[in-house]
Amino acid sequence: MVYPVNVGSLFRIADACGAEVMALAGTTPEPSGSPNFQRASRGKEAELPWRHFPDSGAALDWLLELGFTPVAVELTDRARPYHLVTLPPATALVLGNEEHGVTRACLARCPQQVYVPMLGQGASLNVHVAAAVVAFRARYPGSEPSKPAT
């Protein structure tokens, strides 16, 4: 990710879901005093342990050492709708760059790949919104989502 508001939002989502850690990698900006980051994070970066790595491979190595299973949130041929997959208890959601998504090398290391089905005309959600949908599903598994009656 390259946009501070998305990174800040992810810290807030991670806090809301009770995440244990967050790994940032590559060009993802570290928490900063940027007004956009601060507005989105509401200071949650100070409450959640996080580390920044030079690349996604190093971040994945760290998460695997901690016992997490990486699950990519990405539109791929292997991806399944997030609500049809049973996520492991120690899931690490792997998110990509807003423009280019999760790298092929990173996808190859994720045993599961999921996506959020779109019921309207849009092809995808903003990265932090998709992360929130999947993160809350991982935290609170439940029934299959459905399109509201009109």
pLDDT by residue for the chain (150 residues), tens only, comes to: 678 899 989 999 999 999 999 999 988 878 877 888 888 889 888 889 999 999 999 999 999 999 999 999 999 999 999 999 999 989 999 999 888 899 999 999 999 999 999 988 888 888 999 999 999 999 888 756 566 665
| Cβ within 8 Å of residue 149, ≥6 positions away | none
- Listed by start position, the domains of the chain span 4-139
What pLDDT, on the 0 to 100 scale, is given for residue 133?
94
What pLDDT, on the 0 to 100 scale, is given for residue 97?
86
Asked if residue 84 lies in contact with residue 100, where contact means CB atoms within 8 angstroms, the answer is: no
**Assigned CATH topology for domain 4-139:** Alpha/beta knot (3.40.1280)
Burial label, 89 (beta-carbon count in 10 A; 0-12, 13-18, 19+): exposed
